[in-house]
Chain A
Amino acid sequence: MSTPLLEIQNLRTYFPVRGGVFLAARGQCKAVDDVSLSVWSGETVGLVGESGCGKSTLGKSIVRLVKPTGGKILFNGVDLASLRARQLKPFRREVQMIFQDPADSLNSRLSVGAMLEEPFLIHGIGDEASRRERALELLQIVGLPPAALDRFPFEFSGGQRQRIGIARAIALNPKLIICDEPVSALDASIQSQILNLLLDLQQRLGLSYLFIAHDLAVVKHVSDRIAIMYLGHVVESGDGEEVHRHPRHPYTRALISAIPQPVPRRQRYRQILTGEVPSPIDPPPGCPFQTRCPHVQAVCREQLPPLREVAGSGRDVHAVACHFDL
């Protein structure tokens, strides 16, 4: 396929930081700063980063839960960033979202059946009988018993609730699902069940995913390509295997080396970063990683390194935002 399903161009999402007597805007929190990213049909793009890096804000900007400050979000060629709320409605069918904690994202007053029928009501699809039939079918697809239809979210475990969240997200046959930390609240044995379900659904329904998570091992497992975010910027992107085997950015390297491996006494070089992530409110000029980078030079404090292509081509291009070839 020649054009991507989703093409994010130079997206910026800033939040005003208010303070003082009249709550005047005193600065800007640059949650997402000049991010470009593409998702092709049928693939999974993983977005990894630590808390506060802007990965969730990016996801929410795509479904327009927050309004981007600038840049483009092209979905099948249409710029979602510039559409009004009313114009967005047809696209809401095509782009859905799965959240971290389904206990928070599911309406506790609605039965599972009512929740699964709601999307059809909103978009005026089918009659009562066909809606109920479709709801039952959705339950079966995500591996829940038909009896779940008349029960309420609190009656389910975390893993089952996530299945309900997934059923709701696939109800209208979307093309793209933004998965925002879909398994991080789940126990290990349940996490693998949900990851398998997402992989199955992708095959079966031809879905594309933007998979957002902090756990690189999880993201690498489900993704074709990955992007690493740090302080609002994408610092490295490329084919998942390639980025894992040949990480180019010092932050990616530190991130990989910090993951505790379930292998005892493994002798390996461990790079422990010192310092902490600076605040995205009025970040320092230059490279976002300069305060923690072991290779920092004078130029890093002055110039923001652009995301430059270092290997591969086309879809699988490996790009890194560092002034140096480490």
Chain B
Amino acid sequence: MTSTASNSGQGRGEVLLDVQDLAVEFDTEAGRVRAVDDVSFTVRAGQTLGIVGESGCGKSVTALSILRLLPQPMGRIAGGHILFRGQDLTALPAEAMHKVRTGQIGMIFQEPMTALNPVHRIGKQLSEAFLLHQQISPRTALERSVEILEKVGIPSPEVRVSEYPHQLSGGMRQRVVIAMALACRPALVIADEPTTALDVTIQAQILELMKALQDEMGMSIILITHDLGVIAEACEDVLVMYAGRVAEKGSVEDIFRRPAHPYTRGLLESIPRLEYPRKTRLRTIEGMVPGLMDMPAGCRFNNRCPHKVDRCTAEAPPLASVAGGHGVGCHRWRELPAWTEPVS
């Protein structure tokens, strides 16, 4: 891999991706819906941003819009900017965007079987990624494929390159997908629920692998997950999304030690933890996520929020700054009771 120029020619901590006021709309049979509204965040070089939220919160749509892979023709970016190394991806011509997708931003999906082509050998699929960008022979590309499979911890990679995806286990397939995403040394990798389909002991292996590869190659990662445990263990920064908007964002310490949004707090309190006394009632967030067609006016969390006042139904809260990079989309964050961690 040493012959490939690294894409991450940026200092650790510098802003690599700057998403500003992103809005995404979908045309549905029932009319136009806004799936992502006014979402802003940054990803720093060499660091991991976690995006956490429940189904329908817009976390995957946000990821797809960075890559401009929204389902066509229903979905479109309705507003905002996506600055990747200063270049606005929303304004990029299709050709140039293709180059970004295949060379500078890699993607890892939840279900590796859908990301791999079942009728081609692993080696051929991996070689493709190299051949697309580099003037090298197919033989060299295959050698590179073996190298990168070895890097992601696949035993006997020289044998595996001539196998088909169905011959590998789920964990091994996800390693192949990671290898593919990293083949061209991207500066940013977007991983959408990369371990959700895997068993917990295999998940631990994959998360460890991603961390080790990040230390070695210096890429940034956007890790999308519904699992707060994964966020706490793998991320430096966190974006909590609810119903298409940012509920809260900050460092992992901010979100877990000083959560300021009632939704973030509710999530942290509702997950069962090994330390809890058994068979005790769990705290819950009452009700459920509203559908995109019937979002409540004002704050979108207001119909489930225990701290709701009139103002919450009248106007949408802007993202207020708690401290430093810690932001919260709640009118009443200053008035909430002091937070006590569920388990010390």
Contacts and interface: CB of A to CB of B under 8 A. Distances in A.
Contacts of A265: 232, 252-253
Interface stretch (B22-30, B83-91, B179-187, B264-272): B264-272
Nearest to B208: A272
Contact of B200 (A159, A214, A224, A266): A214
B106 interface: no
A262 B272 contact: no
A199 B281 contact: yes
A190 B233 CA distance: 23
B227 A192 contact: no
B229 interface: yes
Contacts of B257: 264
A51 B207 CA distance: 19
B205 A273 contact: yes
Contacts of B200: 50, 214-216, 255, 258-259
A188 B226 contact: yes
A260 B229 contact: yes
B300 to A, nearest CB: 14
Contacts of B266: 189
A263 B171 CA distance: 25
Interface in A231-266: 240-241, 244, 254-266
B256 A221 contact: no
B201 A241 contact: no
B284 A189 contact: yes
B228 interface: yes
A218 interface: yes
Query: Could you say which interface size class chain B belongs to?
Result: 35 or more
Given A159-B288, A217-B273, A264 B252 contact: yes
Contacts of A127: none
B204 A270 contact: yes
A290 to B, nearest CB: 15
A192 B208 contact: no
B99 interface: no
A193 interface: yes
Contacts of B143: none
Nearest to B153: A274
B58 to A, nearest CB: 14
Given A188-B54, A195-B282, A196-B284, A264 B253 contact: yes
Contacts of B289: 187
18 contacts: A50-B201, A50-B202, A187-B54, A189-B266, A196-B284, A217-B274, A221-B280, A222-B272, A224-B278, A255-B200, A257-B204, A259-B229, A261-B273, A262-B232, A262-B273, A264-B233, A266-B232, A273-B204
Interface of A: 44, 50-51, 157, 159-160, 187-193, 195-196, 199, 214-218, 220-224, 240-241, 244, 254-266, 270, 272-274, 276-277
Given A193-B286, A222-B272, A273-B205, 13 more contacts: A50-B200, A157-B288, A187-B289, A188-B271, A192-B282, A196-B284, A256-B274, A262-B231, A262-B268, A262-B273, A264-B252, A272-B205, A276-B172
